[in-house]
């Protein structure tokens, strides 16, 4: 049985593999490359895994983050976490099995707090931040943590728009893309790629769409929520630049939080945070906690590293 087949079986019983590391999610996101995995065992049983996505550029094969995948990194079964001797051994086992890539670059899940065996193997690390709300079961406490300005924006937006879930994917994608257009940015994914991801999430009952619509039928804002066994993720969003003053984007952010709590019964909400100052300020106004995660990388080819640094 291949490592991927074993990993698929492993993920059916492992209790908290993040959605981004699920085999079906990686299948949907492996555009322009492919994914694979290395496994570590204890007593013949798979207890740890490190999935990765790899691409080819000329003669160079390298590991990187695929489209729509916010985090990967090593996953250990809960009983193997926190005991450093066990962690170190399993992590080193995984690292030694990785192919000889020209480069390896991954964002680790916030749950992966031990990168020391990677350091010993001459990998490097930068700390990034996401923003999370915890204890969603106490929604009143979460609501009390909202800033006065956020509560005001939610109240005013409710007077201007209503929240629905049943508009089309084409409508969602069109509004989502307007945010990139407003910033003069090229859309990072096509509608076909978005639909491929959505089909995979729909098959797993792991996503919900949110639309803020006014009485004239205009869509002010959209949001795309996905989840796994422990956490909901604010994966995608967008606003019509001509209608941003309505505050609908803030309302939808709150509605996704409320949905994660009241409908899904989850305890954690991840804003998929940004390092941008303006985004950080907004997440903090929602009461979200700054949460570190590791970006871990290594260049094994000096030529590939030079080419990466020279590219525009």
Q: 30 vs 26, 118, 232, CA distance in Å?
A: 6, 25, 22
Backbone CA torsion sign across 145, 148, 149, 152: positive
What are the tens digits of pLDDT across the range 192-219?
999 999 999 999 999 999 999 999 999 9
CA proximity to 87, closest of 28, 47, 60: 47
The pLDDT assigned to 244 comes to 93
Q: What is the CATH number of domain 3-128+293-310?
A: 3.40.630.30
What are the tens digits of pLDDT across the range 85-115?
999 999 999 999 999 999 999 999 999 999 9
Beta strands 124-134 and 207-213: pairing type? unpaired
The pLDDT assigned to 312 comes to 67
The answer regarding whether domain 136-266 maps to CATH 1.10.1740.10 reads no
Q: Where are the domains of the chain?
A: 3-128+293-310, 136-266
Determine what percent of the chain is predicted with pLDDT higher than 90: 92
Task: Please state, as a whole number, how many other Cβ atoms lie within 10 Å of the Cβ of residue 111.
Answer: 17
Residue 76 — left, alpha, or beta (φ > 0 → left; ψ -120 to 50 → alpha)? beta
Same fold yes or no, 3-128+293-310 and 136-266: yes
Residue 32 — left, alpha, or beta (φ > 0 → left; ψ -120 to 50 → alpha)? left
- The pTM of the full predicted model, rounded to 2 decimals, is 0.96
Average pLDDT of the chain?
96
The pLDDT assigned to 33 comes to 97
The pLDDT assigned to 179 comes to 87
Low-confidence ranges of the chain (pLDDT < 70): 312
């Amino acid at each position: 049985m291949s490592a991927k087949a074993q990993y698929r079986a492993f993920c059916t019983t492992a209790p908290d593999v993040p959605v981004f590391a699920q085999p079906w999610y990686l299948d949907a996101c492996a555009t322009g490359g492919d994914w694979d995995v290395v496994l570590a065992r204890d007593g013949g049983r798979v207890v740890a895994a490190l999935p990765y996505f790899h691409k080819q550029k000329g003669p160079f094969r390298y590991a990187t983050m695929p489209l729509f995948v916010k985090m990967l990194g090593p996953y250990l079964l809960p009983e193997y976490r926190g005991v450093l001797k066990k962690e170190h051994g399993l992590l080193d086992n995984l690292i030694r099995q990785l192919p000889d890539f020209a480069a390896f670059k991954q964002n680790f899940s916030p749950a992966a707090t031990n990168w020391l065996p990677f350091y010993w193997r001459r990998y490097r690390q930068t700390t990034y931040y996401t923003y999370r709300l915890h204890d969603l079961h106490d929604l009143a406490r979460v609501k009390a943590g909202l800033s006065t300005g956020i509560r005001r924006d939610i109240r005013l937006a409710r007077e201007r728009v209503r929240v629905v879930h049943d508009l089309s994917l084409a409508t969602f994608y069109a509004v989502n893309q307007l945010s990139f257009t407003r910033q003069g940015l090229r859309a990072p994914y096509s509608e076909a790629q978005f639909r491929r991801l959505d089909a995979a999430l729909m098959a797993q009952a792991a996503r919900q769409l949110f639309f803020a619509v006014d009485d004239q039928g205009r869509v002010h804002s959209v949001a795309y929520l996905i989840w796994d066994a422990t956490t909901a993720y604010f994966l995608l969003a967008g606003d019509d630049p001509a209608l941003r003053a309505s505050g609908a984007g803030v309302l939808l952010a709150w509605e996704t939080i409320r949905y994660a709590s009241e409908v899904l019964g989850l305890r954690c909400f991840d804003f998929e945070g940004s390092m941008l100052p303006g985004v950080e300020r907004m997440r903090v106004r929602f009461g979200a906690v700054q949460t570190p995660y590791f970006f871990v990388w290594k260049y094994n080819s000096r030529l590939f590293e030079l080419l990466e640094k020279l590219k525009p």
